[in-house]
C-alpha cells in the first residue's frame, strides 16, 4: 500500500524556539556516527578554515566565560554577558536586540542557521566537561549551546559614569520608571523587568543591594526584556536627581497592614490610576524579605493592593505586575532600542 506524502510544513512552523531546539537535538542524536560525521565535515566551514575546539576546562576562553557567569563586576568591565541554553538564545536573537560575541556548541552539533550569521561564524565546539563547567549545570541535556553576548549600550552604572550624562543618555522625558529597592532574587528581578517592558514603562532604576540584571537566571526570567529596556544602576542621590530633573512623583508599593508607623496608604484603584495619568511617576518596589527601606518610606506616597483573606502581601513580582499594569501609560512614550 502506498503512503501519501505529507505536505511541507508552513514557514511559521520554524519560528518557534522550541521547534528549533527539538530539531537541533534530533540532528545531534540521529545516529551513532552522525556526530563524528558532522565534526569531520561541518557544513559551515569554508575551505581551509579550521574548526575551533576546546576540550580543557583550563582553556582561557573557559575561564573567561565562567568569570562572566559568576561576577557582575567582571561582566560590567567587559560589557559582556553569558546566556545558557539554545531556546533562550534563539528567543533573544529573534527579537533583534542581541549581538553574539561567541557561540559555544557541544561537539558534533551543527550551528542553527539563524545563529550562524549573528555569531559572525565565531563558533567554538566544546566537550561536555567544558559545557558543564561554563554552565554550572551537572547535565548538558538542556545546555547544548552557550552564547557570549554584548551587554546592551543602554545599560548604565552611574557609579562608573557621570550621573547627569548617564541619565540623559538613558531616559528622554520619561513618564514611567520602575525603581527596585533591594530585590535580590534574580527570578523576581527578571520577571519585573519583563513586566515593565510589556506594559510600556520607560525604564528600570536599580538601587543598591539589587542583584545584577544580567545574572544568568535574571536574563532567563526577563526573556529578552533586559536587552530592550533602559536599565540604570545607581544610589539614592542619583534617584533624587532623576526625580528632580524630570519632575516625577514617587509612589511605593506597600502592604496596608504594615505596622512601621507610616502614614495610611492609598488603595490602588482605577480612580487612583486615572488621577495619576498625567503625572510622571517613579514606582518603588522593595524586597519580600526586608520590604521597603526607610528612605523609600519617607520619600514616597505609599500605595497598597486591596486583598481579601489572611495574606499580608503578594510575591513582589506578582504585586509588581499588578502595579505596572494599573499605572501603565495610555500611550507608548518611547521607542524600543533596537541596537545592542
- Averaged confidence pLDDT in the chain: 80
Question: H/E/C letters for each residue in the chain?
Answer: CCCCCCCCCCHHHHCCHHHHHHHHHHHHHCCCCHHHHHHHCCCCCCCCCCCCEECCCCCHHHHHHHHHHHCHHHHHHHCEEEEECHHHHHHHHHHCCCCEEEEEEECCCCCCHHHHHHCCCCEEEECHHHHHHHHCCCCCCCCCEEEEEECCCCEEECCCCCHHHHHHHHCCCCCEEEEEECCCCHHHHHHHHHHHHHCCCCEEEECCCCCCCCCHHHHHHHCCHHHCCCEEECCHHHHHHHHHHHCCEEEEECCCCCCCCCCCCEECCHHHHHHCCCCCEEEEEEECCCECCHHHHHHCEEEECCCCCCCCCCCHHHHHHHHHHHCCCCCCCCCCCCCC
193-219 tens-digit pLDDT: 999 999 999 999 999 999 999 998 999
Cα 331–chain centre separation: 24
Selected residue with higher pLDDT from 220 and 14? 220
239-248 tens-digit pLDDT: 999 999 999 9
pLDDT score, position 335: 43
Closest alpha carbon to 206 in 224, 226, 223? 226
Instruction: Look up residue 231 and give its three cell numbers.
Output: 536599565
Cβ distance 90 to 114 under 8 Å? yes
Query: For 281, how many CA atoms within 13 A lie in the half-sphere containing its CB?
Result: 28
If you average pLDDT over residues 281-297, what whole number do you get? Answer: 88
Interatomic CA distance for residues 234 and 212, integer angstroms: 12
Cβ distance 200 to 176 under 8 Å? yes
- Those residues with Cβ within 8 angstroms of residue 54's Cβ, 6 or more apart along the chain or in another chain: 61, 62, 104, 124, 125, 126, 127, 130
45-103 tens-digit pLDDT: 443 446 789 999 999 999 999 999 999 999 999 999 999 888 888 888 877 766 788 99
Q: What's the alpha-carbon Rg for the chain, to the nearest Å?
A: 23
Instruction: Look up residue 54 and give its three cell numbers.
Output: 576546546
Interatomic CA distance for residues 204 and 216, integer angstroms: 18
**How large a percentage of the chain has pLDDT more than 70?**
75
Band (330; pLDDT cuts 50, 70, 90): confident
What φ, ψ does residue 258 adopt, rounded to 5°? -65, 140
CB-based burial of residue 162 (10 Å sphere; 0-12 exposed, 13-18 middle, 19+ buried)?
A: exposed
Selected residue with higher pLDDT from 61 and 40? 61
| Residue 9 pLDDT greater than 50, yes or no | no
Amino acid at each position: 500500500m502506498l503512503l501519501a506524502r505529507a505536505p511541507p510544513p508552513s514557514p511559521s512552523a520554524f519560528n518557534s524556539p522550541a521547534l528549533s531546539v527539538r530539531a537541533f537535538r534530533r540532528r545531534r542524536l540521529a545516529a551513532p556516527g552522525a556526530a563524528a560525521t558532522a565534526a569531520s565535515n561541518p557544513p559551515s566551514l569554508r575551505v581551509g578554515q579550521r574548526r575551533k575546539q576546546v576540550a580543557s576546562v583550563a582553556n582561557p576562553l573557559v575561564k573567561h566565560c565562567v568569570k562572566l557567569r559568576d561576577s557582575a563586576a567582571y561582566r560590567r568591565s567587559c560589557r559582556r554577558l553569558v546566556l545558557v541554553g539554545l531556546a533562550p538564545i534563539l528567543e533573544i536573537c529573534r527579537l533583534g536586540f542581541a549581538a553574539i560575541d561567541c557561540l559555544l556548541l557541544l561537539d558534533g552539533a551543527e550551528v542553527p542557521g539563524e545563529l550562524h550569521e549573528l555569531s559572525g561564524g565565531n563558533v567554538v565546539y566544546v566537550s561536555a566537561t567544558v559545557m558543564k563547567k561554563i554552565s554550572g549545570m551537572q547535565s548538558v541535556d538542556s545546555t547544548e549551546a552557550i552564547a557570549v553576548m554584548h551587554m546592551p549600550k543602554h545599560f548604565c552604572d552611574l557609579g562608573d559614569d557621570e550621573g547627569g550624562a548617564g541619565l540623559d543618555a538613558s531616559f528622554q522625558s520619561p513618564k514611567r520608571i520602575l525603581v527596585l529597592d533591594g530585590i535580590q532574587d534574580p527570578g523576581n528581578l527578571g520577571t519585573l523587568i519583563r513586566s515593565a517592558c510589556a506594559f510600556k514603562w520607560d525604564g528600570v532604576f536599580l538601587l543598591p543591594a539589587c542583584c545584577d540584571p544580567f545574572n544568568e537566571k535574571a536574563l532567563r526570567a526577563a526573556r529578552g526584556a533586559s536587552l530592550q529596556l533602559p536599565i540604570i544602576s545607581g544610589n539614592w542621590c542619583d534617584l533624587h536627581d532623576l526625580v528632580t530633573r524630570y519632575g516625577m512623583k514617587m509612589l511605593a508599593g506597600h502592604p496596608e497592614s504594615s505596622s512601621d508607623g507610616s502614614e495610611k496608604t492609598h488603595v490602588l484603584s482605577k480612580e487612583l490610576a486615572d488621577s495619576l495619568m498625567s503625572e510622571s511617576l517613579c514606582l518603588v518596589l522593595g524586597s519580600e524579605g526586608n520590604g521597603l527601606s526607610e528612605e523609600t518610606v519617607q520619600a514616597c506616597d505609599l500605595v497598597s493592593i486591596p486583598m481579601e483573606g489572611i495574606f499580608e502581601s503578594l510575591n513582589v513580582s506578582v504585586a509588581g505586575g499588578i502595579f505596572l499594569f494599573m499605572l501603565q501609560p495610555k500611550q507608548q512614550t518611547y521607542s524600543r532600542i533596537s541596537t545592542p
